[in-house]
Amino acid sequence: MENEKQNAQWLARLFTDWRAIIESAETPFAKLAVFVLPVIAPMVPASLTSLHLYTLFVGNFDFPAIKLIALLMSILTGIVLELLGYVGAIATVRAIYNVAKAENAPLALYVPVVLNGLSYGFYLLALITVNYYLGQFLGEEPIVTNIVAILSLVTIPTGLLAANHLNETAEEEKAEKLRKELLDREARERELEREHKLRKLEIKSGKFQESSNTSVESSEKVPDWRKLKSTLTPEQLREMANWTPDQMNQMAKTTGKTYKTFSNYRARARAELGLE
């Protein structure tokens, strides 16, 4: 009895582990399939068309290296059809999605729908028609031609899946970008609000008195130059005449007087020394 209970528990754990593995792999596998299918699907009709063309070239042309040339031409044609089918299907569906998503869509949004739709329609028409006539020329049974024509349409559902996946991804990226911008804006607003509060506290505590000092200094009468000159030695007068803008700025900050006051002192000193 105890052994049966242990076996049942072991089986339960085994199935639970399998379920966890399957569920964890389900989403990545589905995304991989959605990504790979639109690439592989156009290869089916493209490969069949390449085989038809290879048979046509080898059977109707007779010159050296015909097999190599036929092989290269067939592969090149298959690659062109593969890319045209992949890009055409996705571009068409995405253009339709953009029109459906927009309210009162402008005429400009319909232009990509028409152009991409015509391109994809031409791809399907050319693929089916070429394989149909090649099948008739090579003497194939009608059923073979019909199968090739049907396989040519497999790009439609795979293109729909891929375009829908790309649109969902684009919407998620857009939403994530908007969320980050909103968070950044809120962070900047909080920082500005914090700085504003700190400034108000500093003003209340008396740390920002430059503006008030400036207004007080401007209301007070600047000392008369003649009185100031009588207190200066010749060396101090020459030093005043050579004040630099940086020195005058620094003195304005430390004394509470304006930069213009020290600039006037400098001008008077230079005039006294005949330097102007």
Q: What is the mean pLDDT of each run of 10 residues along the chain (276 residues)?
A: 62 66 58 72 81 86 86 87 80 81 77 87 85 83 79 75 74 80 79 73 56 43 66 83 83 77 84 78
Q: What is the pLDDT of residue 208?
A: 47
- What are the DSSP calls for 204-247, one per residue? HTT---HHHHHHHHHHSPPPPHHHHHHT--HHHHHHHHT--HHH
In this structure, are 163 and 216 located in the same domain? Answer: no
Q: Which residues form the domain of 258?
A: 210-272
Q: What is the pLDDT of residue 210?
A: 45
Q: What is the pLDDT of residue 182?
A: 78
In this structure, are 51 and 167 located in the same domain? Answer: yes
Q: What is the pLDDT of residue 204?
A: 63
Q: What is the pLDDT of residue 221?
A: 46
Domain final position from 163, 180, 197: 180
In this structure, are 56 and 174 located in the same domain? Answer: yes
In this structure, are 130 and 231 located in the same domain? Answer: no
Q: Which residues of 26-42 are buried (b: 16+ CB within 10 A; e: fewer)?
A: eeeeeeeebeebbeebb
In this structure, are 16 and 59 located in the same domain? Answer: no
**Alpha-carbon torsion, ordered 128, 133, 139, 144, to 10 deg:** 10
Q: What is the pLDDT of residue 213?
A: 46
Look at the chain and report how many structural domains it folds into: 3
In this structure, are 9 and 68 located in the same domain? Answer: no
In this structure, are 227 and 147 located in the same domain? Answer: no
Q: What is the pLDDT of residue 29?
A: 62
In-domain check, residue 158: yes
Q: What is the crossing angle of helices 245-255 and 259-272, to 10°?
A: 130
Q: What is the pLDDT of residue 104?
A: 73
Q: What is the pLDDT of residue 122?
A: 87
In this structure, are 95 and 164 located in the same domain? Answer: yes
